[in-house]
């Protein structure tokens, strides 16, 4: 009887979210309209360069290759019907989880690049064991390493309530903690505080017994007050051109988006604001598992003018080796930081005297804005404690002030 009551309450809560937030996704509706009228409007039909995670394409000659590349990224979206989460027993993250989903997409891209290579392409028939290990890690079940449960409840352990709106800095800090429990991924995450990459801190994170642990470098930035300062756009474009790019966690005001490339003056993004059912890819042997795998892939990116981006974002890079990190530093100094003044961010050998150490700090110095009223290798993993697609328009968020790594609260 209690189980039935719990299920009924979960369905009621899900209905409340649906009624409050209305129909889904700007991306899904835009693509749907485009498909209904002919060819999708994802890539402009003109002779121009398109950059996707460090790769350059021609918009006309390589259109299908661009789409294959975008489709090979993991598309993490709102889900409904997962096991109840938090004290309020949420069974959907619709309306609050889009920044968490963008964090998943950046991390998934780092793992795909690290373990499968940047030239790897996904197909509906793919049953590659390494790919399955990666996608299984993002399924929304309690024992998956990077499920919505693990991310949300890791935040809860640090006084970030389940369902609370987070910014890119906070999500990066959560992922930094979670990745430590995943030995197979063999990845370290360093979050550069105060718009400064401190080399001593990076080396401390990645050098273990004389060897280098692959690094996902996340640099949270604040590039304006309410609007992005246009002087930073050339540097952001150059970041997306670098071969180590894992994209950017950011969004437009009030909505989190995963930026993975650009064309001319428009940034390309994957939008998490589509609500899909919860399921399992598992080993992808059953037809239902094959179908569910396809919900993690979106062939058509959407476009947004750089000027419409929220000024709170995080640029992300993967350095597989020590040499690749040193090469990235050289490119930063010669090709990125010289493009604007003040520079996009700073590089320092040592930490400033008055900074807290990385071990003393769990969360960014600037708090979130307070808004008004599996697979076999992961079966034993359980940090958290017990406690179909449709389309999602609005999410709430806002911008702070100053060029520093504070956050917009976006969902």
Cα–Cα distance measured from residue 192 to residue 204, given in angstroms and rounded to the nearest whole number: 13
Cβ-contact 272, 279 below 8 angstroms:
no
**Neighbouring-strand partners of residue 369:** none
d(CA 172, CA 341) in angstroms, rounded, equals 26
Given the residues 76, 98, 239, 340, the one annotated as active site: 98
Q: What are phi and psi of 90, to 5 degrees?
A: -70, 135
Residue pair 213/186 in contact (Cβ under 8 Å)? The answer is: yes
Whether 80 is catalytic: no
Tell me if residue 93 falls in helix, strand or coil: coil
Strand order in the sheet with 90-92: 90-92, 79-85, 275-277, 389-390
Q: How far apart are CA 43 and CA 280, in angstroms?
A: 31
Among 408, 407, 384, 377, residue whose Cα is nearest residue 395: 408
For the question of residue 273 being annotated catalytic, the response is yes
Beta bridge partners of 208: 211
What does the angle CA 66 – CA 70 – CA 74 come to, to the nearest 5 degrees? 165
Closest to 226 measured CA to CA, from 309, 153, 147, 162: 309
Q: How far apart are CA 72 and CA 270, in angstroms?
A: 12
Cα 80 to Cα 85: distance, rounded to the nearest angstrom = 11
Q: Which of these is catalytic: 80, 149, 190, 273?
A: 273
Both structure tokens of 360: 């003393």
N- to C-terminal Cα separation, the chain: 35
Of 271, 310, 368, 392, the catalytic one is: 271
98 in catalytic set: yes
Active site residues: 98, 271, 273
């Amino acid at each position: 009887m209690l189980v039935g009551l719990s299920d009924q309450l979960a369905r009621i809560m899900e209905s409340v979210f649906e009624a409050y937030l209305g129909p889904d996704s700007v991306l899904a509706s835009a693509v749907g309209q485009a498909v209904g009228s002919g060819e999708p409007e994802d890539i402009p039909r003109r002779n121009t360069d398109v950059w996707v995670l460090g790769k350059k394409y021609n918009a006309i000659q390589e259109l299908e290759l661009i789409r294959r590349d975008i489709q090979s990224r993991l598309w993490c979206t709102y889900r409904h019907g997962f096991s109840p989460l938090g004290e309020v027993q949420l069974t959907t993250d619709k309306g609050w989880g889009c920044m968490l989903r963008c964090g998943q997409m950046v991390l998934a891209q780092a793992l795909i690049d690290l373990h499968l290579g940047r030239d790897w392409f996904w197909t509906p028939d793919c049953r590659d064991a390494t790919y399955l290990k990666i996608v299984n890690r993002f399924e929304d079940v309690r024992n998956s390493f990077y499920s919505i449960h693990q991310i949300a409840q890791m935040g809860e352990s640090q006084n970030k309530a389940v369902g609370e709106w987070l910014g890119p800095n906070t999500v990066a800090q959560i992922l930094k903690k979670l990745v430590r429990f995943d030995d197979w991924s063999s990845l370290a995450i360093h979050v550069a505080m105060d718009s400064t990459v401190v080399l001593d801190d990076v080396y401390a994170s990645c050098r273990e017994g004389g060897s280098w642990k692959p690094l996902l470098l996340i640099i949270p930035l604040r590039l304006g007050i309410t609007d992005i300062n246009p002087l930073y756009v050339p540097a952001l474009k150059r970041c997306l051109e670098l071969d180590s790019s894992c994209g950017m966690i950011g969004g437009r005001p009030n909505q989190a988006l995963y930026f993975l490339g650009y064309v001319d003056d428009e940034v390309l993004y994957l939008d998490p604001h589509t609500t899909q059912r919860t399921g399992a890819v598992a080993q992808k042997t059953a037809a239902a598992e094959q179908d569910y795998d396809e919900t993690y892939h979106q062939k058509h990116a959407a476009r947004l003018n750089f000027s419409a981006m929220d000024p709170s974002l995080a640029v992300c890079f993967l350095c597989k080796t020590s040499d690749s990190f040193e090469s990235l530093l050289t490119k930063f100094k010669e090709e990125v930081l010289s493009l604007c003044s003040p520079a996009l961010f700073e590089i320092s050998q040592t930490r400033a005297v008055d900074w807290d150490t990385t071990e003393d700090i769990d969360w960014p110095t600037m708090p979130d804005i307070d808004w008004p009223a599996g697979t076999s290798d992961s079966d034993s993993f359980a940090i958290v404690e017990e406690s179909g697609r449709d389309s999602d328009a609005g999410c709430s968020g806002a911008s702070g002030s100053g060029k520093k790594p504070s956050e917009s609260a976006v969902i």
